[in-house]
Amino acid sequence: MYQQILFAADFSEDALRVGERARDIARKCGAKLSLIHVVEDVNISLGGGYELLPVLPDLPDEALLQESRNALGNLAQRLDITDAGLWVVNALSTKEGIIGAAKDHHIDLIVVGSHGRHGLALLLGSTANAVLHGAPCDVLAVRI
Amino acid sequence: MYQQILFAADFSEDALRVGERARDIARKCGAKLSLIHVVEDVNISLGGGYELLPVLPDLPDEALLQESRNALGNLAQRLDITDAGLWVVNALSTKEGIIGAAKDHHIDLIVVGSHGRHGLALLLGSTANAVLHGAPCDVLAVRI
């Protein structure tokens, strides 16, 4: 069974429920649990002509990363897990950040929240979807 | 944790490995495991003009369903699970069959094999992908 589980955490109101699932599975399997949050370093913003333009900023500044580290720590505390790895990484996309970490750390299960796909989300896809297609390991999509 | 787990089985050479994962999780959780195989009743075939045409045949004949029932029974035997529900259903698509059964039987986890997406598969999508988007519950995509 699983030995290295990675919970891909956003800081939405559903993160706690998804995290609980990841935690419970890790406990059942006796697996090590790590939490990751990805700070994307490319943003799409409205350009002058109302076109969607990729904006390539400097790397996220230290304050933003520190804020994410604090939020991830708080989430781990609310989940009552004290021994989890807490990783804040920045990457071109959430998908790349999660998959890169999964490969680097020999993760065998990624746990990610999954919304139903409606409207604009149907067009844009979802993190769960993206992770599913690139993951080197099993992916558990927790319905939220 | 999970109480009703549904393993969506094809009869590929990877089915055994995906099934073992489903079985092991069911045992860890003390969950009931059911196996489903969907016989699609719409096929796409080459029409006279080399166009891709949907072909609406009669419902799959009893021989085909019986063959699938036998294959599902064999798979359950190889997985050493004797008490699993074995469901062969026919539906418009594999996705619809799996999701319909998940709703009808109050499934809380669907386990499905997931290939990496390359070439044509990238265009066509995958069963795991389709199930993920319509599922009423959690989905575990087992990497094969």
Give me the CATH number covering residue A88: 3.40.50.620
- Structural domain of B32: 1-42+55-60+83-120+128-144
Q: pLDDT by residue (tens digit) across B102-115?
A: 999 999 999 999 87
Q: Choose the closest CB to A129 out of B116, B132, B134.
A: B132
Residue B50 lies in a domain: no
Three-state DSSP class for residue A48: coil
Question: Is B91 contained in some domain?
Answer: yes
Contact B28 A138 (CB under 8 A): no
- Residue A48: inside a domain, yes or no? no
Q: Please report the pLDDT score of residue A115 as a whole number.
A: 77
- The 10s digit of each residue's pLDDT in B72-126 is 999 999 999 988 999 999 898 899 999 999 999 999 999 999 876 555 555 556 7
Interface test with B, best of A4, A25, A122, A138 (most B CBs within 10 A): A138
Cα separations (Å) of A75 from A5, A71, A78, A79? 16, 6, 5, 6
Taking residues A85-108, what's their average pLDDT?
Answer: 94
Nearest to B101 by CA among B20, B2, B3, B7: B7
Beta-strand runs (E) in A41-73: 43-46, 52-55
Half-sphere exposure for B24 (CA within 13 Å, toward CB): 13
A66 domain-assigned: no
In a domain, B48, yes or no: no
What per-residue confidence (pLDDT) applies to A125? 61
What's the mean pLDDT when you consider all of chain A?
Answer: 86
The sheet carrying B85-91 orders its strands as A85-91, A32-40, A4-8, A109-114, A138-143, B138-143, B109-114, B4-8, B32-40, B85-91
Residue A89 has, within 13 A of its CA and on its CB side, a CA count of 21
* Contact between B141 and A143 using a beta-carbon 8 Å cutoff: no
Contacts of B140 in chain A (CB under 8 A): 138-141
- A71 in a domain, yes or no? no
Q: What is the pLDDT of residues B43-73, one digit of tens each?
A: 555 555 666 666 555 666 788 899 999 999 9
- Could you tell me if residue B93 is inside a domain? yes
Is residue B25 assigned to a domain? yes
Nearest CB among B28, B132, B143 relative to A137 is that of: B143
Let me know the angle formed at the C-alpha of A86 by A80 and A91, rounded to the nearest 5 degrees. Answer: 140
ipTM score here?
A: 0.85
d(CA B43, CA B119): 21
Residue B64 has a pLDDT of 87
Q: How many domains does chain A have?
A: 1
